[in-house]
Structure 1
Amino acid sequence: MDPARLEAVTWRNRALLLFDRVAMPVAVCDVYGAVLLANPAMAAECGTTPGRLRGRDVLELFRPREATQVERIAEALRLRHRSRYQVSVRWRAPDGAERQGELTADPVSDTVEDTPALLVMLRADGRREPPGRTDGRRRPSTASPVAEEARVSPTEARVLELLAGGATTARAARETGLTVDGVTYHLRRLSARWHAANRTELVARAYALGVLRPGVWPPEAAGAR
């Protein structure tokens, strides 16, 4: 392999590594909206894996609230305009709740003449609709905000147990069968959700929210029994 091509491959691999570690949900789509590449954060919003998102229509995964927004973007892309486009969207989270937020799409290509791909980023607002409510009106929920905030997946609960017991990221990866990057990804998601500045604060929040059972050693998730 010639040096120029080798350097290009090296930088592509570095870019993909960075892409996977970004905490914000991000995807690369073709000009028609089909997903070419998605990071773990984007896949998590859809309750699946990055590979299973490939080929899916991003506007089927995240439903536009106004069809006219999409029509304007399609026309702008047809004219090869290079603006940043924003679409208000709704989608169903893996737990069944209705969520809403904003998709931002930036056309990207090597040259101005090339047909652009779309770098798509998702910004979710903090509100969730209870399962079954799809008309945009909020239904009173019997769950308290703390109970909603304390919901974690079995994998997240196990990572928190290990972290509270003093495990390193490498040991947590061995115990859970994840990669080191996979453990780090879950910790970053939990830290962002609970606004924890470091791992000590993350563990403290887990106990405060009742995710970890107090007075038990080794640490145990509240729903483990």
Structure 2
Amino acid sequence: MAGIYVDITDHVRATSQRQEAEEKLRALRDYSGLPCALLSVGGRIEQAGTAAAELFRTRLSDLVGRRAHTLLAATPDLRPLRRTWEGLITRRIRRAETSAVLLDTEGRQRRAQLHLSTVSGPVGRVAHVWAVVTDQSIAHEAHPPLTAAQIRILSLLAGGSTNAEIATSLKLSRQAVDYHLSRLRDLLGAETRPALIARAYVLGILAPRAWPPRPAATRDPLGSR
């Protein structure tokens, strides 16, 4: 009876390469000092480094097992981030650079650049996604909800516009601009124009490295900060 021989060389090579890649990623987690976590395709944190626990101001044991979406602030960045995640777990892409606003256990927010890469499982399916924080801003407290007009006024104010110029740019009356500025002083706890601008940057309302000034949430999520 003739025997049946199956060449498993390619399978063994692929398995070895996957194991080697996983070992390198574990080394990155343990020794690089970068905040990173291994996520299931359902978005649950299965492994994480101590730097990630420090970033979110929690214990490592409390971080592992948590749903990753609970660590993200509700910002316009979430929509493109969800599309990126879908692309990863459906194998349309293998890695991606994106950004998000992270939310720690004390309610403070910080914008971060994320490097996401897939880890293959059996029969080529995506088993996990490694998430590494490669850059991050200074943490800031959450700011009160502002209208689009109020945020635009802050941008123009930071650019040096007078009340009259703001009114002209936004096609508002001077009285409307004065009212919005008064409300902004109350909401942000700032009595003067310089203090109002400073608070807008400290709270992350305005993009810190953009000129002319613009809202932080409108930046390209893949762009540099």
TM-score of the aligned structures, taking structure 1 as reference length: 0.47
Highest Rg: 1 or 2?
2
TM-score of the aligned structures, taking structure 2 as reference length: 0.47
